[in-house]
Structure 1
């Protein structure tokens, strides 16, 4: 299968993660645009270079996965700070139509995010004024939307009026004008699906909330889907950086002509009904949406399933991963990980393929789960492990690895599991915040700015990551004879970490 892929930005989570999954399948050859075309953080991509790449590669592939955010805005962050006008939108809509006309048999799968509204104040990924007014802008829209849909208490009414009176109007006007343009793009893409220009459209909601701007835009899109009867061809759900993997899974299943059946098992009783941080709906509802969007189907029983999804969720209260040394008691009293891991073991012993979505914490994996899987020597028997950033980030990527890995290369799959244990737990949950506390202040650096000392940060991070891996993994991956890990900072900050993983394996067990 020859598949072209235009990511939403240039970070490893949108490029390397997807490339590594594709590389684990002997059936898939993935084409990506030149790295230099993809821009850098808030600097937009070279859209003309990207369009040339698309038109050149279209005749070589059976399907193409397109990020509309990259194509129209030049990337994820540029979509939040642009000053584009309708003429720009028209240009790209007509170019997509021309692509369809020139390649009538090409599968064109697209994604187009609903613009996020973070509930905190930071301009690292938003307009400059969000540094001071971000939390206020979020809360103003949250309360306005809640008032429209339900009602506000007296103190909430007073709070809303104070926000309306306080936030400078020029910032609200700028923010809402941009959102209106982006919302128009969302609904325009629906029309392209209806007319057949796009084969399928995924609309993830980045950092969504039950009320506010995201919810308002979501309602507009849903009305469009219903009016055009596009329920089967457009999917909207929480997520963002996993969307490339989700669409890769859907393309793969369509080209194979088979929908893998997924059966979930849960680590906690309340887990399916809980609403994870940074999302607007229960785990169970996101599960349904992601399974459908990935071209799979939900199995009624484990017996009929092609893949067992082991879904690690909180007991009752969800925390950030770096706080798990002081975790809420309900992580123990409202879930039973020993039973969960034993279920995984039994399914593996039955010959079932098991993938893990480690979503008990936000922004990183669960040490207790990884430790128990290691103690039972189960980690290298899995088909996939993912536990990064948001619930849906982990869910979407682990489903994709499961789908492509069913007939995949075992050595590549093991490499990917090690990669995500290092990135998702060791870095994101453990090393990242410790370095923020005890290393960055020594060098006058901050979480969002490593200045000109990124090499120094990488050297220290490399050591901590390697040491932590040796302490954590004691019984698994015995075929690994050599493991070398180098890190880098894609956006010169601490939030994400790029990994260069060199892994040598033998057929005979030899613990490194």
Structure 2
């Protein structure tokens, strides 16, 4: 009996050893890398509460050592409920003295967020009240830069304008008026028909929206000239080549030139959600005196002139605009560049996807030359089949060697996000005082990189359609306005299950786990990601965007003996 007990004991010890070895392996042979503690503090009044407008700035800020402080949730907008504008102004006034600077959304301070700005009206008196507040804020904090941004209305009619045909007619009217203002010939008969078909009430409401916004932005431009605002960026939301918003934009450009304001003080750009992040990168570059040299590379000869959905300009113009906005310069060759901004706009209808294997090799070649590489991975039809990332994973491309990745929503959103986060990384590394600091910058950058890959590719190119289709199949038609108590919870459960399956496969891939050598001002380091976890949910009752935060477990390989 004693022998049996001894044998059982040995078997239990062996079983425990196997369990510990295979299910709980020893820690990797290397030094665990953690992000640096923030050393600088900035305030952010975000455009709205969505992650691209708020969380992206917080997360990317850590790359360059910024703690980004945002208003408490009770003041912030929540989907269709506008933010507390009075409370937001008080919060800004109370907290600015302890911070270095503030990035301020005018739409949040005046209307309560982007969605509210699309529908609400602000009287001249309400506008003047905001202008007076900004003057007072500057007078109380004369040494604190106020970096403001305001969004031009999109041409889509307000939701308060009823009727499908009425909205369709207003869009057609906007496009014709835009062409007419650009000096192009238009069908005058069709223009007259639309003017007669649209009710005077809705026509007045639609046009007044742009007039009100133009008046507001003229007042903000005047504040720049006064020195109240350190910088003003006007963004164009969901634009087209010819439209009434472009008429407003041309008026404002002319006013800026009339006032003699340089672009580093007041500028108009395409996009909205990414502007706060770009302004953070611009602030960092101005503070450190860094001007990133960026070479723009394209996946296909036609990409340069491609105009992607919801854009008014082509890819080349968009990229140059974003580079200039963050204080960089376009490099004429890859050899002279700090960063390669690689733009991909695959479209199966134009058969550009057939070059994807060639694109993978081009990206490898850049890495072999020790280039810093930011990949903008767009799809004309918002599908995984048109992106480059799946081929990178199939070919064991060392994904953590990318400096930045983005592939979400519009071209301006994605290019602005990739360029800004890469610029923050490059600037921070250029000023890193030690090897430990340089590795902490790497850790923060990889975290932001993995956030973008998991959301922009795995969710937005794969899972969102599955979730929407399942909801619609069950009878829920409007995935942009979910019921918090019923289908929103179900959608969250689907999101969690599907994305965790993706993560389980992705974190075992050679592409993620492969060691990569990163070249910094403090020397070259070999690092690897041993594991990756993820938290995610729908922040608003709709499926359009997700809140996602990863935790990569990053290690520095010990030097070879």
Gaps of 5+ in 1: 319-326
Over 3 Å counting, the alpha-carbon distance change for 1:265 and 1:88 in structure 2 is same
CA apart distance, 1:132: 5.5
Name the counterpart of 1:322.
Answer: none
Whole-Å Cα distance in 2 between the matches of residues 380 and 405 of structure 1? 14
SS in 1 for 2:320: helix
In the alignment, is the contact (CA less than 8 A) between 1:63 and 1:251 conserved in 2? no
Residue 487 in structure 1 maps to residue 555 in structure 2: no
Choose which of 70, 74, 88 in structure 1 pairs with 2:112: 74
Report 1:10-409 matches (<5 A): 10-25=49-64, 27-118=65-156, 126-127=159-160, 129=162, 133-152=166-185, 156-232=187-263, 233-314=265-346, 318=347, 327-332=348-353, 336-361=355-380, 368-374=387-393, 375-406=395-426, 407=429, 409=441
Contact 1:80 1:127 in 2 (8 A): no
**What's the CA shift for 1:332?**
3.2
8 Å Cα contact 2:155-2:174 kept in structure 1: no
| CA deviation map 1:274-298 (0-9, x unaligned) | 2222111121111111111112121
Q: Mark the CA change 1:173 to 1:258 in structure 2 (over 3 Å): closer, same or farther.
A: same
Larger Rg: 2
Instruction: Name the SS of the counterpart of 1:279 in structure 2.
Output: coil
Deviation at 1:463, TM superposition (A): 1.5
For residues 388-417 of structure 1, the C-alpha deviation after alignment (integer angstroms, 9 at most, x for no partner) is 000010111111110111226222322222
Q: How does 1:473-484 map to 2 (within 5 A)?
A: 474-478=509-513, 479-484=528-533
Secondary structure in 1 aligned to 2:240?
coil
State how far apart, in whole Å, the 2-side matches of 1:67 and 1:362 are. Answer: 31
Structure 2: distance between partners of 1:365 and 1:5: 33
Structure of greater relative contact order (alpha carbons < 8 Å, 6+ residues apart): 2
Name which of structure 1's ranges 284-293 and 368-377 shifts more when overlaid on structure 2: 368-377
- CA deviation string 1:209-241 (max 9, x = no partner): 111221111111111111112232222121110
For the residue of structure 2 that corresponds to 1:401, the secondary structure is helix
The residue that corresponds to 1:497 in the other structure is 546
State the alpha-carbon separation in 2 of the partners of residues 364 and 238 from structure 1.
23
What is the TM-score when the length of structure 2 is the normalising length? 0.82
The answer to whether the 8 A contact 2:153-2:209 is kept is no
Q: 1:258 to 1:366 in 2, by over 3 A?
A: farther
What is the deviation of 1:338?
Answer: 3.0
Q: CA deviation at 1:24?
A: 2.5
Q: Which range moves more in the overlay, 44-53 or 340-349?
A: 340-349
Shift of 1:82: 1.1
**Shift of residue 362 of structure 1?**
6.0
Offset of residue 173 of structure 1: 1.3
After superposition, what is the alpha-carbon deviation per residue over 1:330-369, rounded to whole angstroms, capped at 9, x for unaligned?
2236xx3333332322222232221112234365766641
Contact 1:253 1:259 in 2 (8 A): yes
1:303 alignment partner, SS class: helix
- Judging changes above 3 Å, is the alpha-carbon distance between structure 1 residues 378 and 366 closer, same or farther for their aligned structure 2 residues? farther
SS in 2 for 1:385: strand
Task: Give the distance between the partners of 2:537 and 2:165, measured in 1 at CA.
Answer: 30
Q: 5+ residue gaps in structure 2? A: 1-39, 430-439, 514-527
Q: What is the alpha-carbon distance in structure 2 between the residues aligned to residue 378 and residue 150 of structure 1?
A: 50
Q: Is the 8 A contact 2:384 2:390 kept in 1?
A: no
CA contact (8 A) 1:363 1:390 kept: no
User: Please, what is the CA RMSD of the aligned residues?
Assistant: 2.3
Q: Secondary structure at the match of 1:268?
A: coil
SS at match of 1:77: helix
What secondary structure does 1:485 align onto? strand
